[in-house]
């Protein structure tokens, strides 16, 4: 893995996205094989659609994209695939937009922190597991399981 791929601002910077997409699809396949869970062609297709860009997509948009490939896909098929992908940490839900985005650092985190650009609609996922509030929760005897931080604003390119 190159340094640029680990870059927190990957989504906002010019990069070879085809390579990025391919790498993440491969990582997902390896993770599922290791966990002995089935990344069925349908689930893989949903992930591939979400990985077409670094912009989150609503479930309905994913359904539309699937219907472009193959007609008459029933919505529950998409919802079930999204559920599976979320359970495996391969996809995150951006709560403020009720939309989904492929995980950029799959397989190794319980906190997810996003920078959401209001102008280009791209979302960067920080590769940073340190969240001060999680430590505070632990100090208070609270068993924290999962945290999502959504930071809204403008990316560097859109500010220019």
**Under rule CB under 5 A, residue 50 binds Zn ion:** no
* By the rule CB under 5 A, 28 interacts with Zn ion: no
Mask for 127-156, x = binds Zn ion (CB under 5 A): ----------------------------x-
> Is there binding between residue 17 and Zn ion (CB under 5 A)?
yes
Q: Is 102 in the site for Zn ion (CB under 5 A)?
A: no
DSSP three-state, residue 124: strand
CA 40 to the chain's CA centroid: 18
Contact 37/89 with Cβ under 8 angstroms? Answer: no
The one segment of 10-18, 42-50, 62-70, 131-139 that binds Zn ion by CB under 5 A: 10-18
Can you tell me which residue has the tokens 């068993």? Answer: 143
Q: What are phi and psi of 147, to 5 degrees?
A: -140, 140
Q: How far is the CB of 6 from Zn ion (least distance, A)?
A: 12
Site string for Zn ion, 54-93 (x = CB under 5 A): ----------------------------------------
99 vs 112, beta carbon nearer Zn ion: 112
According to CB under 5 A, which one of 102, 117, 126, 131 is a site residue for Zn ion? 117
Distances (CA, A) of 156 to 74, 90, 146: 39, 26, 29
Q: For 97, what's the count of Cα atoms within 13 Å in the CB-facing half-sphere?
A: 24
Which stretch, 24-32, 38-46, 70-78, 108-116, contacts Zn ion (CB under 5 A)? 108-116
Token representation of residue 103: 């995980």
**How far is residue 29 CA from its own chain's centroid?**
15
Nearer to Zn ion, 54 or 73 (CB): 54
Contact between 126 and Zn ion per CB under 5 A: no
Could you give the 3-state DSSP secondary structure of residue 62? helix
| Cα 59 to Cα 111: distance, rounded to the nearest angstrom | 22
Residues engaged in binding Zn ion (CB under 5 A): 17, 20, 103, 112, 117, 119-120, 155, 158
């Amino acid at each position: 893995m190159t340094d640029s791929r680990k870059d927190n601002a990957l989504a906002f910077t010019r990069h070879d996205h085809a390579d990025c997409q391919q790498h993440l699809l491969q990582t997902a396949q390896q993770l599922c094989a290791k966990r002995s869970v089935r990344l069925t062609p349908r689930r893989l297709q949903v992930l591939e659609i979400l990985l077409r860009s670094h912009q989150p997509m609503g479930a309905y948009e994913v359904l539309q994209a699937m219907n472009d490939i193959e007609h008459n896909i029933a919505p529950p098929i998409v919802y079930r695939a999204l559920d599976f992908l979320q359970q495996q940490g391969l996809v995150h839900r951006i709560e403020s937009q009720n939309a989904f985005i492929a995980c950029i650092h799959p397989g190794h985190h319980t906190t997810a922190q996003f920078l959401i650009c209001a102008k280009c609609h791209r979302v960067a996922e920080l590769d940073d597991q340190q969240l001060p509030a999680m430590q505070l929760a632990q100090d208070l005897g609270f068993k924290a399981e999962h945290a999502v931080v959504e930071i809204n604003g403008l990316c560097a390119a859109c500010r220019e």
